[in-house]
A and B are shown apart, each in its own frame.
Chain A
Amino acid sequence: MAWHSVMLAARSAPFLVLLSTLAFGQDPKPDTTRRPVTLPTIQTTAPRDERVVFEQKPNVGTITITGRELTSAPRFFGEADVLRAVRLLPGVTARNDYSVGMNVRGGEADQNLVLLDGYPIYNPFHMGGLFGAFVEPMVDRVEFMTGGFPAAYGGRLSSVLDVRSAVEPRPDIHGRADVSLIATTVAVGSGMQGGRSTWTVAGRRTYADKIADIYKKGSLPYHFSDAQAHVTRVLPGSIELAFTAYDNVDHLTQSSEETSNADQFHLAWGNRLLGATLSRTFDDPPLLLGIALGDSVRVEQRVSRSRFDVHMQLFENALTLNNRVIDDRVAGLLASFSARHTRRVGYDLAWQRFSFDANYPLILYPSDSIVNRNTTGGVFIDDLWRPNQRLVLQTGVRADAVSNGGPPIVQPRMSAKYFVNGDLAVTAAAGQFAQSTHSLAREDVPIRALDFWVGSGPDAPMSRAQHYIVGVERWFSRSRALRVETFYKRYPSLIEQNPNSDPNVPGDEFLRIHGYSYGADLMLRQFETGRFAGWLAYSLALSKRFDANGVAFDPGQDRRHDLNLVGNWTGPRYTVSARFNLATGTPYTVITGQFNRRDYDPSRHVFEFSTMTQFTTGARNTERLPLAQRLDFSVTRNGHIFGTKVAPFLSVMNVYNAKNVFAYVFDYSAAPPKRVGLPQFPVFPTIGVSVVW
């Protein structure tokens, strides 16, 4: 028998790997004697991914979390939701139940880059932000960077949410089905060729419309659906190919035969993504211009098309709104690895087409037309250096440019970690960031149903920010860690939608603002090793913005305190999850009075008696909404039927029906005047079942 060794690996839990090494002799000469050999068994515990990252990277502002951990929080309307769970992390605040996106460390909600396997997604939400659009069983892990992120990431000012698709390396078809009152999700996958090829496919669709059709056809003409696929394959020459496809769409359409033309409407919005990555790792890399590239080199090339569409047509086109984003992108990376350095150099080049038009003004968006055809380019170089056992330094620089957007913006970035001892480290980061994609949504509007995207141009310059972060990270045990970070973010250049933009005047769609945010956030995290897992996340943030006239105001996202407690108790039969949130109010502009704006009828030369109520306002965002708090709860019965894991669950959102106000309606026609608080979601129980095979 030729000399060789065999390594057996068994992964029974995310953190435990049992290894047995079988060594078939050290002598290359054939051994024809067949005799039993007793081999020693080695048991070792692999460190958690988070611990590895703690030891090897500065990871300032970065939280790595598995999809399983994220969805251990109680379900929202029975749906496990990665993006909703991300809002429970430190540094993140969510405005309310009716707003898409999130605000990270005082930043505006359009400053967050969402990536799926490295490809950008523009609006990964359903139902105006009620649900995240990622199919939960397809999420392997999430890396969430709340500031000071490395030079490899560009295009946004505040955060990067990098979602990685799950792979299924096991042979045979495995899968999971989640059935709730709202939707059914099915995910299946399999590994082939010893795990060298894998595929996973998942889909989700709501069916409230179908149930309503039983009683009256077309009575609930809304549904959303998701489809996601991820394929990996190792090609000849050790070239790795990964392919990701993603499609989500919301449909709100009333066009049945019973409906008159006047009452028909059509609203649809969604994302579509196709992306492919070719990569190869060279264990014995060649010299480049005579320079050794390191012990190994990884080369990666990505190509993708990401598309976002919104189409609305109401009342025979009395109201139409369209927004389209097409982002064709190529990106590449060369990374070299050596004992002390990990160096990366890369680029991305995108051809972006943005178009927006609306023929009727509402407060959610302008009545205007905006078209951009931008070519954006970015290059970066980054070096992760471990000069000694106590210090890790990551330095880099990135340059981003956009056609018609002025000169390139050079963004130096640096982060460092100093180990006081093996479990305690002090971290720091500083960097500059630029953004060439902007949302037309206004931060002051409490409901953010959708983001409508446009690109930078002569009248919408690239936004810029600077981050300064200092923190401490402490591991109390292999399953418990604490991280505290303070931050200061300066925004020398931002833009916001002009609520009084004139559709006949090009270039007045945006107003220029600037400002700063500062604060701190804390995360005490219990990893899943025993029965309890969860985290405590506290965020403190204070933000100030200045309008074009230099007038200071608190931006709409300025939530000062936000506390989230997320816990998950797993027993032999039941898993109990709970989430409690306590958050101070965000600012709003007080209404100071109202009068009747009378339409003038030039055909009769009189004022129309029918009028619209016009409100007058006080100084911008000087009042605050009240404290909000909420408890969500779910219990899951963990059982098996014929060897298949079957887990029915009960989930209750807003257990004690807290009436958390997200906006006020003022009435000055009453005496005395009054305001009515508009509450977020009331108590809502739901049931469902998960089946895993």
Chain B
Amino acid sequence: MSGKPRAAAIALAFALLSACAVPEEPIPIAPRQLVVQAVLDLGAQSCLISLEWMDNGSRVHGQVTGANVSITTLDGRVIRATEDVFIYTPGFGNQPRDSARWNGMYRVDLQKNGVALLPGATYTLDVRMLDGTHATGTTTMPAVANAPDDRELSRFSDLRDTLRLSWKRVPGAKSYQVTVRAYTKDAPEITESFYSIFTDTSVTIAGTARSFQNDPVFPFGSRVDVTVVAVDDNYYTYFHPSVDPLAGAAPSRLTGALGLFGSVAPVVIRRYDVR
């Protein structure tokens, strides 16, 4: 084959090969990394710590068992966590009804250990894995007294009413998270919709508002829990950015792991019957 036809044939073959290529391909397994997500909640009687291995393409199951997890208080008291274990419930497949219970979830029972979280206090999380992986982090609780649990049922019209709340600024709070969780009276453990925003010291949400998933924030006929919590810098830094595949995970304040050890303190708690 002379020069020109051969060059043309090579060019044509190259073009056809490119055109036929299937744009899906395997990639190498990524290094394994520990992900810790833990929140100290001034209004809770226990602290939940989620441990899992990041999905890296290996067949290793993500949820972590057998870890040694503890929280150290300001006065040096060390409280060990116990491991929650997911119990298969027929009829619900692999979906645990109690979202606090699944493999890899650890619980520090504050009440049982006689520990009361203190506003303004700093706590240290310590995680030691069986393979020697070690992760630590600290958080400082916003300095506010626990809000009264005002869950007396109020009526709310999704067509006529607007939720308007305001609260005082809390020392040590980076921001305030407003969550609106809707559920049915008959199955309060199943979340119908969950709406969350960060704001300053007030919020206004129209009764007809919808979440970005196009779900009503106040579904007609549902019960709605509205909670405002003051959050520390760790919590806000972790949760306020959108999930952005191009920017990567939000900066982690943990050592030895990705994720979060943050704290929240309730400042407003309301419950509405949406009619």
Contact = CB atoms under 8 A, between A and B. Distances in A.
Given A360-B212, A603-B181, A669-B55, A614 B243 contact: yes
**Interface size band for A:** 35 or more
Given A601-B194, A658-B15, A668-B57, A616 B27 contact: no
Interface in B188-219: 191, 194, 196, 198, 200, 206, 208-212, 214, 216
Nearest to A654: B19
Contacts of A669: 55
Interface string A597-632: 111111111111110111111000000000101010
Contacts of B58: 671
B211 A659 contact: no
B43 A674 contact: no
B93 interface: no
B250 A318 contact: no
Contacts of A318: 209-212, 214
A691 interface: no
B208 A616 contact: no
Contacts of A504: 175, 198, 200
B2 interface: no
A128 to B, nearest CB: 17
Contacts of A670: 57
Nearest to B62: A595
A295 interface: no
B247 A617 contact: yes
Interface string A58-71: 00000000000000
Contacts of B181: 601, 603-604
A591 B209 contact: no
Contacts of B31: 592-593
B248 A599 contact: no
Contacts of A444: 246
Contacts of A342: none
Contacts of B54: 593-595, 616, 668
A358 B95 CA distance: 35
Contacts of B33: 593, 616
Contacts of B95: 609
B182 to A, nearest CB: 11
A659 B20 CA distance: 8
B18 A673 contact: no
A609 B99 contact: yes
A317 interface: yes
Given A363-B244, A504-B198, A617-B248, A607 B37 contact: yes
Contacts of B212: 315, 318-319, 360
Contacts of B24: 674-677
Interface string A496-514: 0001101010000000000
Contacts of B229: 602
A668 B35 CA distance: 15
B187 interface: no
A672 B57 contact: yes
A574 to B, nearest CB: 23
B10 to A, nearest CB: 13
B241 interface: yes
A673 B246 contact: no
Contacts of A614: 243, 249
B25 interface: yes
B242 A367 contact: yes
Interface in B52-99: 52, 54-59, 62, 95-96, 98-99
A164 to B, nearest CB: 38
Nearest to A317: B209
Interface centre among B21, B62, B96 (most CB of A within 10 A): B21
B39 interface: yes
A592 B191 CA distance: 32
B82 to A, nearest CB: 16
B246 A499 contact: yes
B57 A617 contact: no
Interface string A291-329: 000000000000000000000000111110000000000
B243 A666 contact: no
Nearest to A265: B214
Nearest to B35: A595
Nearest to A665: B245
A679 interface: yes
Contacts of A678: 23
A620 to B, nearest CB: 9
B48 interface: yes
Query: Which 6 pairs from chain A and chain B are nearest by CB?
Result: A673-B57, A677-B23, A617-B248, A605-B44, A361-B242, A499-B247
27 contacts: A262-B216, A316-B209, A318-B211, A363-B245, A499-B247, A500-B247, A595-B52, A595-B54, A597-B37, A597-B238, A600-B41, A603-B225, A604-B99, A605-B46, A606-B100, A607-B39, A607-B48, A608-B99, A609-B95, A614-B243, A614-B249, A656-B15, A658-B18, A659-B19, A668-B55, A668-B57, A674-B27
Interface of A: 261-263, 315-319, 360-363, 367, 442, 444-445, 499-500, 502, 504, 589, 591-610, 612-617, 627, 629, 631, 656-659, 661, 666, 668-679
Interface of B: 15-16, 18-19, 21-31, 33, 35, 37, 39, 41, 43-46, 48, 50, 52, 54-59, 62, 95-96, 98-100, 102, 105, 175, 177, 179, 181, 191, 194, 196, 198, 200, 206, 208-212, 214, 216, 225-227, 229, 235, 238-251, 258, 264, 266, 269
